[in-house]
């Protein structure tokens, strides 16, 4: 059946076309037409978010952190990369930006020996039952010294490692024995059930807006996983991180610069004008900020950080800089092809002194 015939059938019949006819019609839509339809749907939903309650009704999970194996993999990847960068692999106080559907990555940090965990989010996603389930699964993974789930299971997770064996040089038998001591595990579990109790090792804040939510100079490690591309006020956020860290502390962040489904090419979001982008965002509580790698590096340097690791993923760009929206036409060649990066940084020596 041709596209024309299928369209005519649907116009002149009160009956719903057979499923195979709809499939045939869909298969014959030109790819450009499909792209136009998808763009229209994205824009339509964005406009609908201006109606009170629509964003909340359509809200979905953030993805990933509802899996214990994902959380286990992400935390151990950050630790392995910290060792590679010569950083502290036994942080006592850790803070996470944007934990998402669960605080599972933070729970992995606590199980592996951390003493205190701060979870900071814009919207409260996590729930107690999910966190308890993930916690139990994480304890089992550490007890078995399970290998780090790798690219076969989580092909898009960054950073990639060269070796996915359990990092026994970081989490040796003695450290694991102490970390998995039953009374310690029970205290973490009680903290999940009531993180507002005075003796909780977990502090969950959603939303958070001010740096004084964490004591200055008290944190050993601040990390995030594909979160900073959603932060509107990056300067304020990086300043808060600098204030929270102690002099030997460090940051560890995976940042995703891709379009997050807003365009058909991974960097197509840089082609939208500011006006169109404002419509696409609508009234969502958070969206992607479209800032490239150079923005993050510049702000980190301005705040007093020294970058010790910057592992970029290079992806082909179908666009040249002159095909982008005016705001982005000055993007460097590196920015244009950097689809994500893994960054670790410390306070600069002159600032920490």
Read off the DSSP letter of residue 353: -
Residue 298 in this model has a pLDDT that exceeds 60:
yes
- Where do the domains of the chain lie, and which CATH numbers do they carry? 3-48 (no CATH), 68-352 (3.40.50.150)
Q: Are 238 and 304 in contact (CB under 8 A)?
A: no
- Interval 147-172: pLDDT, tens: 999 999 999 999 999 999 999 999 99
Produce one character per residue of 78-91: b if its CB has 16 or more CB atoms within 10 Å, e if not.
Answer: bbbbbebbebebeb
Nearest to 118 by CA among 180, 189, 206: 206
For residue 41, name the pLDDT band (cuts at 50, 70, 90).
low
Residue 170 burial class via C-beta count within 10 angstroms: exposed 0-12, middle 13-18, buried 19 and up = middle
- Interval 318-352: pLDDT, tens: 999 999 999 999 999 999 999 999 999 999 876 54
For residue 32, name the pLDDT band (cuts at 50, 70, 90).
very low
pTM of the model: 0.84
- 29 against 243, higher pLDDT: 243
Nearest to 143 by CA among 109, 181, 117, 169: 181
pLDDT attached to residue 44:
55
- What Rg value do the Cα atoms of the chain yield, rounded? 23
pLDDT attached to residue 286:
86
């Amino acid at each position: 059946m041709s596209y024309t015939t299928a369209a005519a059938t649907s116009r002149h019949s009160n009956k719903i076309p057979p499923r195979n006819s709809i499939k045939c019609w869909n298969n014959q839509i030109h790819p450009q037409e499909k792209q136009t339809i998808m763009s229209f749907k994205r824009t339509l939903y964005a406009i609908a978010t201006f109606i009170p309650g629509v964003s909340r009704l359509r809200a979905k999970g953030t993805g990933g952190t509802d899996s214990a194996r994902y959380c286990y993999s992400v935390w151990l990847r950050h630790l392995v990369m910290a060792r590679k960068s010569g950083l502290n692999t036994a942080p006592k106080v850790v803070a996470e930006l944007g934990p998402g559907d669960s605080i599972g990555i933070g729970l992995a940090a606590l199980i592996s020996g951390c003493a205190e965990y701060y979870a900071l989010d814009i919207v409260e996603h996590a729930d107690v039952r999910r966190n308890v389930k993930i916690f139990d699964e994480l304890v089992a993974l550490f007890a078995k010294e399970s290998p780090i789930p790798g690219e076969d299971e989580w092909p898009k997770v960054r950073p990639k490692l060269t070796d996915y064996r359990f990092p026994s040089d970081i989490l040796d038998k003695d450290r694991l024995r102490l970390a998995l001591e039953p009374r310690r595990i029970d205290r973490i579990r009680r903290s999940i059930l009531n993180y507002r109790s005075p003796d909780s090792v977990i502090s969950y804040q959603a939303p958070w807006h001010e740096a004084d939510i964490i004591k200055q100079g008290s944190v050993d490690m601040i990390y995030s996983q594909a979160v900073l591309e959603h932060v509107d006020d990056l300067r304020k956020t990086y300043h808060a991180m600098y204030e929270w860290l102690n002099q030997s502390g460090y940051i560890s962040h995976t940042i995703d610069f891709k379009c997050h489904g807003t365009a058909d090419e991974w960097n197509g979001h840089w082609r939208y004008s500011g006006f169109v982008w404002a419509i696409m965002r609508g009234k969502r509580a958070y969206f992607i900020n479209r800032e490239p790698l150079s923005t993050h590096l510049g702000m980190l340097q301005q705040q007093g950080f020294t970058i010790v690791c910057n592992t970029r993923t290079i992806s082909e760009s179908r666009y040249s800089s002159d095909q982008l929206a005016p705001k982005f036409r000055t993007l460097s060649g590196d920015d244009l092809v950097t689809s994500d990066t893994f960054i670790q940084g410390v306070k600069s020596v002159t600032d920490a002194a």
